[in-house]
Structures are given as C-alpha cells and as structure tokens.
Structure 1
C-alpha cells in the first residue's frame, strides 16, 4: 500500500475507490453515510477539479501551506465532526479523527519549515485512504444491520437537551428554569 501512496497513479486509484465507495454510500447508506459521501465528493473531488484546472497558483501558498486545501480540509472537518457527534454510528468518529490528523498536518507545516514536503504529503494523503476504508466498512455494516434488523434511526436523540435561545424569544433566567424543573419534578412525584 505504501507504494500506491507514492505512485504517480495514486490519484487515479484513489478516484476509482472514491467513486465506488461514495457511490455505494449514496445508494445504500443512511443519512450519515450520504452526508459523508456527498461532502467528500463536493469538497475533495469537485472543488479539487476546479482548483486543479482553474485556480492553482503559487500565490495561494501561506508559509508553505496551500490555503485552498487547508480551507477545504477545515470545512470538511467541521461537517464530519458534527456528523460524528450526532450519528447513530461509531465509524464517523474515526473518519473525523483522520480528518483532524490531516488538518493538523496543515497547522504543523505552517508553524515549522523543518517538516519535509514528503512527510507533509503523507500526512495529508494517508488519512484519506483510511477514511475511505472506514466509510466502506460503515456502509457495509449499515447494509448488513438493515438486512438483519430492518430500518433503524440514523441519528442519536439527546434527552434534556438545552434549547438555544433564538432571536426574538423571551430569555429566562437560570433560577426561573431551575424552579420550573423543581415544580415539574414535584408534579411527577405526586
């Protein structure tokens, strides 16, 4: 596998695997799988093609870090962390963790010039392969679970979640909220 990471055909091989895995996720996956696959296709494949063909220039380098790639990695990190926190699956945590590793590579490259370009490339490319493996495993587990047990929920439900105060709503103090909970608890006890 290490030869594939250093090969000139790496991008073609990864594109084939991406199309297969993301296509399977879009066809047979639940909402978390579809969000992860769609964000991969939009942020890495589509914007990657646009960047490679129309935007790429040496002027977008900041401290040796490609600002466009770092920005797309950060946006995908935010999306995948949100999916990982609320999905009723475990593998999105691993995918988000791998994306955090890739994002950390951008930060390390920006802070230190001593990082070799090969190490920087490896820290950005290698997590993508693991993310595809985790997504493929997650889609296959989803399909097997769905066949065995039928439909199941895609998202975790949080009990006693704090409701956010939206603009225009009347805000209550913490003491008013706590006293209201005590009254409700006393009514339930009766």
Structure 2
C-alpha cells in the first residue's frame, strides 16, 4: 500500500508541475494519466479479487483508453517525448494481451508487468515538462501541436 501512496504523491507533484510549467501536450498527458488512474481505482485496482490471477477487465479497459489517448497525443504533439510515453503504455497493454492469450501467466509476473511502467511514465512526463520549460526560456514560445493536425 505504501507504493501506491508514494505513486499518488509523485503523480500529484508531476500534475502541479505540468500545470505550472507545461503547455498543451504536457497538460494533456498528465490529465490522461489522471483519468486512467481514476478509471483504475473505479475498476477496483487496489482490491483486485484473485490478485491478478485473472485478467481484470476494468483495468485493461483503463489501460487501453490511456494507450489510445497517448498514441493520439504522440501523433498530434510537436514533441518527441510523447512517443516514449505511448510506447511505455503499449508495454502495459501487451501485458494484458499476454494474460488474455496465456491465462496461466503467473499472477505476480503479470502484476509487475502491468504496474511497473507507471513510474517511468511519470519520469518521462516530468522530463518532457522540464525540457519544454528549458526550450521556452532559451528560445521563446514554441508550437504545441503539429501543423498537419490543425
């Protein structure tokens, strides 16, 4: 339970950072991650019955929704870091696919594969915000979105 509290604190700090120093793509990324967290909690992530011995459908739906949002962000944003963010989320989705294809996948391994990517995703988001802030300070305003998507 302590790891969940630590993650929530880190997510809170990253959210504050995104809204104070980030622009459109940074804010969209953190809102998408917050939305997925709310969906995961509403799906009973903290109290998953069976302890990941079966595929938790609600959690898989939340991860698929976040994956779709991050892929769209990676396509539209005038940044490189959302591509890495979407890739990390795809790794989580692949864990769900593996569990659906091979149900005997050990519960502990599946739980780790589904949850471990959340921390690097926060780190990628924070570094993306930091780099955006640095570029704005050095070169002035930058475009948030690609011209081809306007």
Structure 1 and Structure 2 fold alike (TM over 0.5): yes
What is the match of residue 177 of structure 1? none
Per-residue deviation, residues 74-127 of structure 1 (Å, max 9, x unmatched): 011001001001211111000000000000100101111231111111111111
Look at both structures and tell me which one has the larger radius of gyration over its CA atoms.
1
C-alpha RMSD of the superposition: 2.1
Query: Which ranges of 4 or more aligned residues in structure 1 deviate by more than 6 Å?
Result: none
Q: Note the C-alpha offset of 1:41.
A: 1.1
Tell me, yes or no, if structure 1 residue 20 matches structure 2 residue 13.
yes
In structure 1, the gaps of 5 or more residues are: 1-7, 162-190
> Across the two proteins, how many residue pairs are aligned to each other?
147
Q: What's 1:153 paired with?
A: 143
Aligned counterpart, 1:52: 44
TM-score of the superposed pair, with normalisation by structure 2: 0.89
Partners of 1:112 and 1:122 in 2: how far apart?
16
Q: Whose RCO is larger (CA < 8 A, sep 6+)?
A: 2
Unpaired runs of at least 5, structure 2: none
Q: TM-score under structure 1 normalisation? A: 0.71
Decide whether the 8 Å contact of 1:87 with 1:156 is kept in 2. yes
> Mapping of 1:11-90 within 5 angstroms?
11-44=4-37, 46-52=38-44, 58=49, 64-90=54-80
Work out which of the residue numbers 133, 139, 148 in structure 2 matches 1:143: 133
